[in-house]
Amino acid sequence: MAVGLNRMAREDVEYVWRLPPVTGAVSAVRQHAGVVLAHWGVSPETADEALLVVSELLTNALVHALPPAELRLSWFRGGGLGTLRVEVSDGGPVPAAGSACTDVDPDEHGRGETIVHALATRYGTDVHPGGVTRWAELVSV
């Protein structure tokens, strides 16, 4: 569900979605994010990489964290370059006794962080009251 488009500065924009913990949510948000990135004029190569980062971070939040999950995309333009920041916030780690999602194929598990690190110019994790935010930045010309 889209929360809103905010204008920050002359060429800086952001978009925020809250992700319901349901099957198909990552795909739906990824498709919507692709439309927003195209509207912002993000290069196709950067947009493709960003959508992969979006998928990996959102899936991680759904599988390993407590709800709610929220995606924030921020686009900063200046000096001929653009920086796209992808942030996914969640409610923090699932307690050891359970898991937020049990239908994960073990052969497809554990590669997301490596993919994000390979694609991002910068990345990190911020722990804050109420949860965790994982973020990645990609630079576009």
Q: List, in sequence order, every residue forming a beta bridge with 135; answer none if it has no partner.
A: 87, 124
Q: Provide the whole-model pTM.
A: 0.81
Q: What letter represents residue 108's amino acid? A: E
* Cα–Cα distance, 13 to 84 (Å, whole number): 10
- Decide if pLDDT at 106 tops 60: no
pLDDT for 94: 84
Per-residue pLDDT tens over the stretch 25-46: 999 999 999 999 999 999 999 9
Topology (CATH level 3) of domain 2-140: Heat Shock Protein 90 (3.30.565)
Model confidence at 75, pLDDT cuts 50, 70, 90, reads very high
Cβ neighbours of residue 6 under 8 Å, at least 6 residues apart? 13, 14, 15, 16
Closest to 128 (Cα-Cα) out of 86, 84, 90:
90
